[in-house]
Amino acid sequence: MRIIPLCGLLVLSALNTFAGENPDSVKTKAPSTIVHYPQEKHLANIKQLTFGGDNAEAYFSFDNSKITFQATNPKWGDQCDQIYFTDLATSDMGAKKPSLISTGQGRTTCSYFMPDNKSVVYASTHLTSASCPHVPAKRPDGKYVWSIYDSFDIFVADMNGKIMKQLTNTPGYDAEPTVSPKGDKIVFTSLRSGDLELYTMNIDGSDVKQITFGLGYDGGAFFSPDGSKIVFRASRPKTEEEIKVYKELLAEGLVMPTNMELYVCNADGSDLRQVTNLGQANWAPFFLCWLIFASNHKSTSRGLPFNLFMIDIDGTNLEQITYDGFFDAFPMFSFDGKKLIFSSNRNNNGTHDTNLFIADWVE
């Protein structure tokens, strides 16, 4: 039995988008109007929070009162992903536009509350251009790819959207920041070494340290409840052909996210261990006593469906949590372990919309 509220004491503690990715890339036209599937025994009182557009990567404030998330919603005037927040006690995003945190320019991704609950860290391309960056055309070879925009840098803004500080200013991709529950560190993905690796820095952007070194895309990282460990998803090309393809795509500012597994390490990068070996794409993990993540390892066609699964950090006790026929991803627990928030194509009335849902967690 997994007792969530005690996890921070017991443990040394998968459209960021996969973290850092755009939910546009995984749009599906879902006919279902179901909000809660009967197999979803760990979920109760599921509530839909958004009602149109593409909404993803919703993360709780440390006091569990607010969420920040990224959205592309034409009704809100978005041309590509922007960062919003809402107070959960008063939120009515079906009737009222939430508060914009980002500048409204460029593309943004991967927002996360800072320890004071009064500011948010996120990545944005707005310094390079006010316009949305170019989205690559469908490739002739049919490969499914994401863009790794070299114009992404990491910023901290207050709840009125005023940028308080720029934390990164190096050539190449800097994005996917999340904050340690200890309140001292940020983990993020960067291309500054020539490969997509994980780095940590202090809350103020100082003391930047590289913590992963394996060839492949390391990203979507989260700290454990006590800040001592990190979970992330990674591709690991091994054959000559896989390495060749990875490097060629990376040189074009692209990655192919179709084969990723989950890894856990200490916060300094030591004791690196692979957790999953499921095949397909396993991503968007969140760390509690165990890991909850999105995976399509049971997919039958077109790489669908994606659903939520949980697994112990030693790779045992895999359990399916959600059962949508298309797309459930980007899970995060509230810091008291009582609520789960995630993105889903469920109940989208046959559109391509990806919405936010929140549920009570049931043991």
The pTM score is 0.91
Q: Give the C-alpha separation, 120 to 101, whole Å.
A: 8
Give residue-wise pLDDT tens across range 22-33.
444 444 455 568
Is residue 288 within 8 A of residue 333, CB to CB? The reply is yes
* pLDDT at res. 1: 39
The pLDDT of 230-247, averaged and rounded, is 96
* pLDDT at res. 335: 94
For the chain, domains (ranges, CATH) are 4-26+55-333 (2.120.10.30)
> Cβ–Cβ contacts within 10 Å for residue 5, how many?
12
* pLDDT at res. 285: 76
Region at 298 (left for phi over 0; alpha for psi -120 to 50; beta for the rest): alpha
* pLDDT at res. 117: 98
Is residue 167 helix, strand or coil? coil
Helices (H), the chain: 7-10, 240-251
At 355, list the tokens. 């919405």
Q: Tell me: pLDDT of 153 over 70.
A: yes
Question: pLDDT class for 257, splitting at 50, 70, 90?
Answer: confident
Picking from 183, 186, 193, 185, the residue whose alpha carbon sits closest to that of residue 216 is 193
Q: Tell me: pLDDT of 151 over 90.
A: yes
For residue 202, give the H/E element and its range: strand 197-202
The pLDDT of 109-123, averaged and rounded, is 98
Give residue-wise pLDDT tens across range 279-330.
888 767 777 788 999 999 998 767 889 999 999 999 999 999 999 999 999 9
Is residue 361 helix, strand or coil? strand
Calculate the average pLDDT of the chain: 90
Q: Give the C-alpha separation, 193 to 269, whole Å.
A: 16
* pLDDT at res. 14: 36
Q: Give the C-alpha separation, 178 to 183, whole Å.
A: 11
Q: Give the C-alpha separation, 271 to 266, whole Å.
A: 6
The per-residue DSSP string of 212-234 comes to --SSS-EEEEEE-TTSSEEEEEE
